[in-house]
Amino acid sequence: MARVKALLLENIHPLAEALLRDSGMEVVTHAGAMDEDELIEALKGVDLLGIRSKTEVTAKVIESADSLQAIGAFCIGTNQIDKHAAARRGIVAFNAPFSNTRSVVELAIAEIIVMARRLTEKDTALHAGVWDKNAKGSHEIRGRRLGIVGYGNIGSQLSVVAEMLGLQVYFYDTDDKLALGNAKRCDSLDELLEIAEVVTLHVDGRDGNAGFFGAEQFAKMRPRSLFLNLSRGFVVDYDALREQLQAGHIAGASVDVFPVEPKARGDRFESPLQGIPNVVLTPHIGGSTEEAQEDIGRFVATKLRDFVERGTTTLNVNLPALTLEGHPGDRRILHFHQNTPGVLATVNGILAGAGVNIEGQLLGTLGHTGYVVTDVRDLPEAAVAELRALPETIRLRVI
């Protein structure tokens, strides 16, 4: 059996490389992101791909990657992966939805305090030799009304931490979410904007959120309120934000994500928000703490390893999520197929016709794709060939 090969891009934590190597895999690393053509060339003979947020795994890349079995996004977002194209090829995609939650929450809290106290301006003045000691425009965050847009893993944890610091928390989410602590749910975004003195975005990267927050929403915010975006760059109209900051309607802003971001550290960066007082710009570092990156490296690499070794797809983002407990000595058949009626019966008919007894089996379907994991004792090669030749078969692997 050929040795599994993994390609890890974008400075993924060394723990991920070590974990995969310890599992017997060949691991190749690359410091930066790759463009489409580079990635197509690099993926020749590669079984596992690890990326962060800068590498775009397009349908063209996926169609060209004959050996690719799984993609690991070592971050929260997966909008940089064409998940539908991957599902059609039986390529499973994993991410790390929880590992850097605390890091993002702590950055949000820090930036709220920095803006409320106008610390960047005090810092700039002192570095320029100016002693500007006064309280004008400087406020405590205790008692202020925080509006959280998006009450998922990050938004809900931010809610708890913010309340501990004395903020009054309001939130809005399109899904029905349970309020934590004393947080109050708003029935609409407009209601939240009317109430909140600080508005922070924690929405996901789905296409429908593009341009979600623009001139209309900024105009509805309370005068002299604060704004944060630590979610996705394309959800906010930053030209509109610049206008509201310069007009004084918005008193401060903190932004960690941008519609277009440099590919590598040290590359030139430009934004319409540069040079505006009380604006904190950070280079997409919400989850970039050593603790978070180590945890992400462990979590995603473990998911990739478990898929290679056992076919486990729990917590993936594009295919049925299955975990089948096995027994020593079993052979395991991993069969991705088109989700049409009768496939499972056909698979079992082929195995029965070959005299194969099934020890354990689990089937899941999602959209157009089905996935069945089957444990057997003896498995004739003729049965494997027959399963692979089925017109509904997308991908078949035996471990």
Return the number of other C-beta atoms located less than 10 Å from residue 117's C-beta.
18
C-beta separation of 59 from 36 below 8 A:
no
Q: 235: which DSSP letter?
A: G
The two tokens of residue 9 are 């891009």
- Our measurement of the distance from residue 370's CA atom to the centroid of its chain's CA atoms, rounded to an integer in Å, reads 24
Helix (H, G, I), strand (E, B) or coil at 341: coil
**Any catalytic annotation for residue 232?**
yes
Which residue out of 232, 242, 332, 335 is catalytically annotated?
Answer: 232
Q: 179: which DSSP letter?
A: P
Task: State how beta strands 331-338 and 358-366 pair.
Answer: unpaired
Return the bridge partners of 28, or none: 7
Report which of 262, 260, 287 is spatially closest to residue 272, judged by C-alpha positions: 260
DSSP letter for each residue of 294-322: HHHHHHHHHHHHHHHHH---TTBSSS---
What's the CA gap between 70 and 6, in Å, rounded? Answer: 10
Q: 250: which DSSP letter?
A: E
Return the number of other C-beta atoms located less than 10 Å from residue 216's C-beta.
11
Which residue out of 36, 163, 261, 309 is catalytically annotated?
Answer: 261
- Our measurement of the distance from residue 90's CA atom to the centroid of its chain's CA atoms, rounded to an integer in Å, reads 20
The two tokens of residue 98 are 């929880």
C-beta separation of 53 from 284 below 8 A:
yes
**Any catalytic annotation for residue 284?**
yes
C-beta separation of 20 from 6 below 8 A:
yes
Which residue out of 52, 284, 332, 337 is catalytically annotated?
Answer: 284
What's the CA gap between 48 and 13, in Å, rounded? Answer: 16
Residue type, 347: V
Q: With b meaning 16 or more CB within 10 Å and e meaning fewer, what string describes 127-150?
A: eeeeeeeeeeeebebeebbbbbbb
Please list the active-site residues: 232, 261, 284
